[in-house]
Amino acid sequence: MVTIKNKQTGEVVAELDQADLKKANFTGSDLRHADLSQCDLREAYLVRTHLDGADLCEANCEKAHLIEACLPGADLTSTNLVGSDLRFADLRDANLTKANLSGADLTGADLRGANLGMATLTNVTLVEVNSDEATQWPIGYLNGSKHGLWTSWFNEDQKAIEGEYLHGKKVGIWTRWYENGQVAMRGAYRDGKKQGEWISWYTNGRREMAGEYQNGQKHGHWTHWNQQGKKVSEGDFDSGHRHGYWEFWYDNGEKRMEGDYLDGVVHGKWSSWYDNGQLSAVGSYHRAQRHGKWTTWYPSGVKQSEGDYAYGIKEGLWKKWDENGAEVAQEDFSSPLSNEALLEDSGEDTNIF
């Protein structure tokens, strides 16, 4: 049996025939000024419950259901409200000092005059909340929005992320670190979107990527390196899409492929190489479809195949050679039947991707 008393009068306001309050159902109950301090109310149902002036100090209300609950003047100091549902709750003048509201949903909640000083609001939902000049927010918040310098830490000595918010939007330089203290990424935001130069590093301190953003999208020249400091790729972006000439390399430094992009798809002449430096394929694309003459080679440098494509479909006469250079096949793809057969062909040509 659990007995709940009025903290002012000592009067019994509720009795439950169970060992604890976890998952208890108080929906619509009158628990005004109830003493619930340090109680385990995990996943309890307090929907539309009257808790005016109630003492919930240090109570465990994790994932509690407090939809439209009436909590004006309630003491929620150091209360665990992680993942709780406080949609449209009345929290006027409530004391939420040091309360943990991580992941809680306060959509439409009335926070006029509430004290949220030193409360934890990580991933909290604060949509259409009602607050006023008397509402006290934690450092880093202004009228329910993140504001000012924000820092998160791996431990007391090592920062994880640091940057500034302006009325809920990231602005200025932001930095992310690895746990070993090495900078992982640094760049600027403008009005909540990445803007200007951004650089990322590997844990060993070598650069990983560097390039420009414009309105939150990659734009301009970008370079990617491997952990040994050798280039992996280099080229330009236009509004988030690869555009223009690009080069790619193997980890050993040998060229892997090169060619042009148009609005994010391969277009124009492309060449690819084996990691021994030998040319493997040369041909052209028309908006991601092979088009025109294509030639492939074996790693030894001996020609492997040659022929034409028309918008991704082989056409005309194709020739193939073995690794000794002897011609082993000719096939004419001029007829519709040949093209139908090609659609089921696994393909022997070297794919540069």
Residue (of 27, 38, 43, 35) closest to 4 by Cα position: 35
Residues of the chain with pLDDT under 50: 337-353
Tens-digit pLDDT profile for residues 49-70:
999 999 999 999 999 999 999 9
Number of structural domains found in the chain: 1
pLDDT at 153: 86
Residue 276: CA count within 13 A, CB half-sphere: 7
Which DSSP symbol is given to 17?
S
| C-alpha span between 310 and 353 (Å, rounded) | 19
Asked, for residue 103, whether it belongs to a domain, the answer is yes
**Cβ proximity of 44 and 62 under 8 Å:** no
pLDDT at 19: 63
Global pTM value = 0.67
- Nearest 5°: CA angle at 254, between 249 and 257? 45
| C-alpha span between 168 and 127 (Å, rounded) | 12
Asked, for residue 345, whether it belongs to a domain, the answer is no
Pairing of strands 289-290, 279-286: antiparallel
Asked, for residue 282, whether it belongs to a domain, the answer is no
pLDDT at 18: 64
| C-alpha span between 109 and 128 (Å, rounded) | 8
CATH number assigned to the domain comprising residue 35: 2.160.20.80
Asked, for residue 14, whether it belongs to a domain, the answer is yes
Asked, for residue 10, whether it belongs to a domain, the answer is yes
Domain that residue 102 falls in: 1-140
Block residue for tokens 């918008």: 311
Long-range contact pairs involving 34-37 (C-beta distance under 8 Å, separation at least 24): 34/4, 34/5, 34/6, 34/7, 35/4, 35/5, 35/6, 35/7, 36/4, 37/75
What percent of the chain has pLDDT above 90?
79
Tens-digit pLDDT profile for residues 12-33:
888 877 667 889 999 999 999 9
pLDDT at 343: 30
